Amino acid sequence: DAEITQSPRHKITETGRQVTLACHQTWNHNNMFWYRQDLGHGLRLIHYSYGVQDTNKGEVSDGYSVSRSNTEDLPLTLESAASSQTSVYFCASRGSGGEQYFGPGTRLTVT
């Protein structure tokens, strides 16, 4: 069965370090998204991609970057981790029919 996976599931890092969160989908979807979830804010869009070599900024993109070198993967990089980036991160992919599927999430703690 097709699926979307994220790794690691939990990560603790120190302020200032670079961190990369992985997202891999086997749906063969062109559209992929990264969200962060914080209490009181729901799901906020960080970056998204509509295909290989395409990346776009979402509403909370500062301090984050993504790259899309193939259809299956959209890694999210925190250039210099800050305590404000402590959150739960969800990756999602969406097919042409409109249905969007989420990964299980990565809980990131920046100390």
Q: Considering only 11-19, 34-42, 60-68, 75-83, which stretch makes contact with another protein by CB under 8 A?
A: 34-42
Count CB atoms within 10 A of the CB of residue 55.
16
Member of 27, 66, 68, 90 binding another protein (CB under 8 A): 90
Q: Considering only 16-24, 41-49, 70-78, 79-87, which stretch makes contact with another protein by CB under 8 A?
A: 41-49
| CB 103, min distance to another protein, A | 6
Member of 11, 13, 22, 43 binding another protein (CB under 8 A): 43
For residue 18, the surrounding DSSP H or E stretch is none
Q: Are 21 and 95 in contact (CB under 8 A)?
A: no
Taking the CA atoms of the chain, what radius of gyration do you get in angstroms?
A: 13
Residue 34 binding another protein, by CB under 8 A = no
Q: Considering only 11-19, 64-72, 75-83, 97-105, which stretch makes contact with another protein by CB under 8 A?
A: 97-105
Q: Report the distance separating Cα 12 and Cα 19, nearest Å.
A: 10
Member of 12, 104, 109, 111 binding another protein (CB under 8 A): 104
Member of 7, 18, 41, 80 binding another protein (CB under 8 A): 41
